[in-house]
Structure 1
Amino acid sequence: MKCLRIYATSDGESHFDEIELPTTKRPVHPDAVPFDVTASYLASRVRFTHIPTGMREVAWHTVPEPVLTVRLDGSVEYETSDGEVRHVQAGSFVLVEDTHGKGHLSRHSPEAQTVIWISLPNGLDLPPA
């Protein structure tokens, strides 16, 4: 399973990357048919965010901790400090890890949006086995 990632290098510049989340086929409850499931990752907080209609561009910013954002509706265009731009549709998730440096720009679609923010203190590093 692929995940878009925004991260910062030691010089403070932000970039995109795509990471592969390993999955295994397994049931999620005893009577379920097996399907692809990732490992469990440590999350410290979940927030539900409503971005109002007309909120277009958010200035350069970083995140205080690694956050997995899950876009339920609307869309966003992210720009990293190296000039690359990616468009993210509803139903997508992005790991945002640029906790230092210049950060990234967010350009939101005109309609209101709902986004779930899941704080991941260790990012998507696999827990010890």
Structure 2
Amino acid sequence: MAAHEQEAQQLPYARLYADSEGESHFGNEDMPLGPAEVPGAPPFIASEALSTSDVMYAGFEPGYSADEHPTSARNFCLTLSGEMELTASDGETRVFTPGSVLLMEDTTGKGHAVEFPSDELTMCALVMLSE
């Protein structure tokens, strides 16, 4: 079945956000995907375009860690290599491996702690979202 004939699909991702009390929490979300076409290419599935402002690549050496802090800007963090372990201020910990998608929205409040337990450099692409 061709992509344009498929039913709508979704891309699962994690979300890290702060509540009104400043406590950070994880949630699970799904980004809708639908048929897409580009002239000269076969049909495929894609999300709606997101408004972004910047893209930054960040590398973290094995053993790097940081205590609780809020993220500096709303962004999608895409884990490219290695392993990233985030702990929300509510105590929940999640591990992100290559291919993981995390929407970081805890720009206020207590924030999150992070560790990079991998034996290799952990590379992330940070896609800053426009407000």
Report SS of the residue matched to 2:78: strand
Unpaired runs of 5+ in structure 2? 1-10
Please state which structure has a larger fraction of its residues in strand.
2
Match of 1:31 in 2: 40
Taking only the aligned residue pairs, the percentage that are identical comes to 32
Indicate whether 1:91 and 2:65 are aligned. no
Displacement after TM superposition at 1:99 (Å): 0.4
Q: 1:45-65 CA distances to partner (integer Å, 9 max, x unpaired)?
A: 11111212331x211111121
Distance 2:90 2:63 in 1: 26
Indicate whether 1:2 and 2:12 are aligned. yes
Runs of 4+ in 1 over 6 A off after TM superposition: none
Distance 1:82 1:59 in 2: 14
TM-score (norm. length: structure 1): 0.87
Report SS of the residue matched to 1:21: strand
Displacement after TM superposition at 1:121 (Å): 2.5
User: How many correspondences in the alignment?
Assistant: 120
RMSD between aligned residues: 1.2
TM-score (norm. length: structure 2): 0.85
AA in 2 matched with 1:50:
G
AA in 1 matched with 2:126:
W
Unpaired runs of 5+ in structure 1? 123-129
Structure showing greater radius of gyration is: 2
Match of 2:21 in 1: 11
Q: 1:70-112 CA distances to partner (integer Å, 9 max, x unpaired)?
A: 1110011111111111111111111100001100111112321
Residues 77-116 of structure 1 correspond to what in structure 2 (within 5 A)?
77-110=85-118, 111-116=120-125
AA in 2 matched with 1:63:
T
Match of 2:50 in 1: 41
